[in-house]
Amino acid sequence: MPIVRMFFQETMMRYSVCFLQGNTLIDNHWKFPDPEKIIGLMESANCRFKDIQLVRQQLKERKPGSIDIELSQEQFDRLRSRKQRVQK
């Protein structure tokens, strides 16, 4: 599985997430009003429990930062399709 870096930032009560593979941005910034939506998407895409826990801790601390997670193309595609349904 490729390593993907997730960047988090909280701005105006919204959480912004972006994914990088190497130095390349994958997709656009994703914005969520509730951090649990990010966790829910990861769970529904069958991301590794360890990665979900890392993301949960990062969001709980409410500070910007990044986390390296393992994410297959299939998992990323699932995340993207579920995100589009959630944000409609």
pLDDT tens-digit series, residues 12-54: 667 778 787 777 888 777 888 887 888 888 898 888 899 889 8
In the chain, DSSP assigns E strands to: 3-11, 14-21, 24-32, 65-70
Write down the pLDDT at residue 86: 64
Is the model more confident about 87 or about 34?
A: 34
pLDDT at 1 exceeding the cut of 60: no
Write down the pLDDT at residue 23: 78
Write down the pLDDT at residue 44: 87
**Nearest alpha carbon to residue 3 among 87, 84, 72, 82:** 72
In the chain, % of residues over pLDDT 90 = 2
Query: What would the DSSP string read from start to end of 56-67?
Result: HHHHHHT--EEE
